[in-house]
């Protein structure tokens, strides 16, 4: 009886430690998810292009949440040449520009809500040597973007959900494995005493 008391005490402490570790891993998983990162833009930051494009595209490392997206495309006079709301398709945020937007250096001021629900923002610039083409070019471009936008929202949340569940499952497995290791070590120590 004298030996069971310290052994039970040790096991209780080990169990508490394992539970605390499992909780830390499980609660830490969402916090470890970082903000989405802007990976590239089209036109690229600092690039010079022949003419103002029909749209600018921002590519992130995850699919931003389709709420509160704001992309200003300021021409050399500071006038916003963005035409209509930005469209999010997979990891790409596309902002159409007004037909015939003037040549010069543009500043794109963007703000999106990261897939971890935090707002992120930034700016980039590009220079266009000629104005944007007339209404003929942006017409088919926005039409194609609109049809491409339709299937994406259904697929995107499923992908994000899978990743989250994978992380939780991995954390649970890790917690069990680590817990089993500590318990076995504690039992080995207890039998040595």
Q: Is 68 left (phi over 0), alpha (psi -120 to 50) or beta?
A: left
> Of 6 and 157, which CB lies nearer to Cu ion in the complex structure?
157
Determine the length of the chain: 193
For the packed helices 152-192 and 4-32, what is the interaxial angle rounded to 10 degrees? 160
Does 118 help bind Cu ion (rule: CB under 5 A)? Answer: yes
Provide, rounded to whole angstroms, the least separation between the CB of residue 120 and Cu ion. 7
Q: Does 35 bind Cu ion (CB under 5 A)?
A: yes
Q: What is the 3-state secondary structure (H, E, C) of 26-81?
A: HHHHHHHCCCCCEEEEECCCCEEEEECCCEEEEEECCCCEEEEEEEEEECCCCCEC
The reply on whether position 116 binds Cu ion by CB under 5 A is yes
Q: Whole-number minimum distance, CB 16 to Cu ion, in Å?
A: 31
Which residue lies nearer to Cu ion by CB, 66 or 104? 66
Q: Please count the residues of this chain forming the interface with Cu ion, following the rule CB under 5 A.
A: 3
* Segment near Cu ion (CB under 5 A); pick from 34-42, 88-96, 124-132, 169-177: 34-42
Residue number with CB closer to Cu ion (43 or 64):
64
Binding stretches for Cu ion (CB under 5 A): 35, 116, 118
């Amino acid at each position: 009886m004298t030996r069971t008391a310290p052994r039970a005490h040790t096991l209780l402490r080990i169990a508490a430690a394992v539970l605390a570790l499992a909780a830390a891993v499980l609660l830490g998983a969402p916090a470890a998810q970082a903000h989405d990162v802007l990976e590239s833009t089209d036109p690229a930051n600092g690039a010079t292009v022949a003419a103002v494009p029909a749209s600018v595209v921002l590519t992130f490392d995850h699919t931003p949440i389709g709420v509160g997206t704001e992309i200003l495309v300021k021409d050399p006079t500071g006038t916003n040449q963005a035409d209509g709301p930005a469209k999010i398709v997979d990891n790409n945020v596309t902002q159409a520009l007004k037909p015939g937007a003037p040549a010069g250096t543009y500043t794109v001021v963007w703000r999106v809500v990261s897939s971890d629900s935090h707002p992120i923002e930034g700016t980039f610039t590009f220079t266009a040597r000629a104005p944007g083409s007339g209404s003929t070019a942006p017409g088919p471009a926005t039409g194609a973007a609109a049809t491409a936008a339709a299937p994406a929202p259904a697929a995107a949340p499923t992908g994000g959900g899978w990743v989250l569940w994978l992380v939780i499952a991995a954390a649970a497995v890790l917690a069990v494995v680590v817990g089993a290791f500590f318990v076995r070590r504690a039992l080995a120590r207890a039998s040595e005493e």
